């Protein structure tokens, strides 16, 4: 028999809706279990597995949630800053991938370049997971879907609004619209649009996506309003971005346009008084910390999928 290729998780569009649904459903069961006091998986299904987390940029949630997730599944993690690695002084990604594959059972990479993530996946013989690139942040969207469903039930057919920069998180949110079946209205400055190719792809899958430059129009009737920082890691034009994005702050007017039942989400870290006001992020509609918690449950399900083989759901179920 030919060995199965490693199960990489680079973007939402690479997977079937059924597989992504399976991850969120398993994560939901971990979340429910944690509510009755169970954090660690009682059977430790990833006993003996080591996760390598390679960071080229800072991280709080991604790093800690993956590290804690693998431990709660019975495994262990090594966290590496690319600055401290030979990668930082010219060792190639390909060689790094081949070497790390001999030591660890899966890799998470946070990098500026999506091409670097792809190269790591091409040369690694273990699963590679996207821990954010300047192009996308797919694991974040899985957490948003879990947080939404926890509060509002099935995401299919719900209406989402993205307000702000057409950035990496927006791109994954667009892919999620196709994969999970929510409708999406994006309001961005003309000069910071969401990725047209990704919107074309999502629409071709049947996704309902609208774009505009008006935050209130996008928010009207939304079940969930999402935003993100105006200056992402690696962006060097902060002044220009502040000028372009000042009309896209999520404030009480935006949440009023959405309606009293709308949720507010943000991948965090938040820049209060910039992309979102204190009154919204600390208000009754905000679920940003549930969303952050969801990262942990999703990472566990994702690791189970990546490392658990064909019977991953059974292996990882409680």
Q: Which residues are catalytic?
A: 110, 137, 140, 228, 267, 295
**Per CB under 6 A, which region of 35-43, 58-66, 74-82, 91-99 contacts ligand CP?**
58-66
**For residue 81, what are the β-bridge partners?**
55
Decide which of ligand NVA, ligand CP, none touches 60; Cβ closer than 5 to 8 Å per partner kind. Answer: ligand CP
- The torsion of the CA quartet 237, 243, 246, 248, rounded to 10 degrees, works out to -70
259 vs 269, beta carbon nearer ligand NVA: 269
Residue 188 contacts ligand CP per CB under 6 A: no
Q: Is the dihedral of CA 245, 247, 252, 254 positive or negative?
A: negative
Return the H-helix or E-strand segment holding 63: helix 61-72
User: In the complex, what is the shortest distance from the CB of residue 113 to ligand CP, in angstroms, rounded to a whole number?
Assistant: 17
Nearer Cβ to ligand NVA (133/158): 133
The site for ligand NVA (CB under 6 A) is made up of 132, 167-169, 228-229, 232-233, 267
Torsion angle in degrees (nearest 10) through CA of 267, 232, 51, 6: 100
**Is residue 227 part of the contact set for ligand CP (CB under 6 A)?**
no
Nearest CB to ligand NVA, comparing residues 167 and 198: 167
SS3 181: coil
Choosing among ligand NVA, ligand CP, none, which partner's interface includes residue 246 (Cβ < 5 to 8 Å by kind)?
none
Note whether 59 binds ligand CP by CB under 6 A.
Answer: yes
Report the first-to-last Cα separation within the chain, whole angstroms: 30
- Which residue lies nearer to ligand NVA by CB, 59 or 101? 59
- Dist CA 44 CA 235 (whole Å): 40
Please enumerate, by residue number, every residue annotated as part of a binding site for L-ornithine: 168, 228, 232-233
If contact means CB under 5 to 8 A according to the sort of partner, which of ligand NVA, ligand CP, none does residue 167 touch? ligand NVA
The set of residues, in sequence order, having a beta carbon less than 8 Å from that of 64 and lying 6+ positions away, is: none
Tokens 């074309």 locate to: 200
Query: What distance in Å separates the CA atoms of residue 150 and residue 258, rounded to the nearest whole number?
Result: 19
Residue ranges binding ligand CP (CB under 6 A): 59-62, 132, 140, 267-268
């Amino acid at each position: 028999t030919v060995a199965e290729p490693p199960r990489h998780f680079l973007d939402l569009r690479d997977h079937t809706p059924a597989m992504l649904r399976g991850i969120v459903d398993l994560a939901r069961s971990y979340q429910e279990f944690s509510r009755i006091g169970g954090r660690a998986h009682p059977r430790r299904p990833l006993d003996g597995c080591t996760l390598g987390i390679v960071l080229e940029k800072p991280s709080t949630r991604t790093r800690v949630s993956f590290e804690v997730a693998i431990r709660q599944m019975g495994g262990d993690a090594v966290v590496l800053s690319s600055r401290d690695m030979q990668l930082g002084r010219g060792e190639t990604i390909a060689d790094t991938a081949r070497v790390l594959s001999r030591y660890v059972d899966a890799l998470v990479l946070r990098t500026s370049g999506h091409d670097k993530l792809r190269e790591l996946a091409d040369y690694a013989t273990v699963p590679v997971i996207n821990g954010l690139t300047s192009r996308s942040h797919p694991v974040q969207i899985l957490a948003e879907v879990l947080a939404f469903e926890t509060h509002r039930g099935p995401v299919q057919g719900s209406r989402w609004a993205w307000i702000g920069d057409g950035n990496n998180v927006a791109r994954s949110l667009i892919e999620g619209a196709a994969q999970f079946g929510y409708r999406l209205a994006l309001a961005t400055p003309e000069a910071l649009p969401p990725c047209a190719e990704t919107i074309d792809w999502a629409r071709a899958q049947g996704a309902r996506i609208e774009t505009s430059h008006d935050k209130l129009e996008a928010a009207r009737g939304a079940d969930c309003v999402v935003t993100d920082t105006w200056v992402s890691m690696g962006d060097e034009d902060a002044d220009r971005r502040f000028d372009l994005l000042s009309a896209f702050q999520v404030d009480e007017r935006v949440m009023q346009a959405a309606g009293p039942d709308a949720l507010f989400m943000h991948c965090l870290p938040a820049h209060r008084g910039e992309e979102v006001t204190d009154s919204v992020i600390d208000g009754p509609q905000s679920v940003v910390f549930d969303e952050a918690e969801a990262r942990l449950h999703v990472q566990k399900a994702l690791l189970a999928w990546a490392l658990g083989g064909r019977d991953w759901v059974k292996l990882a179920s409680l």
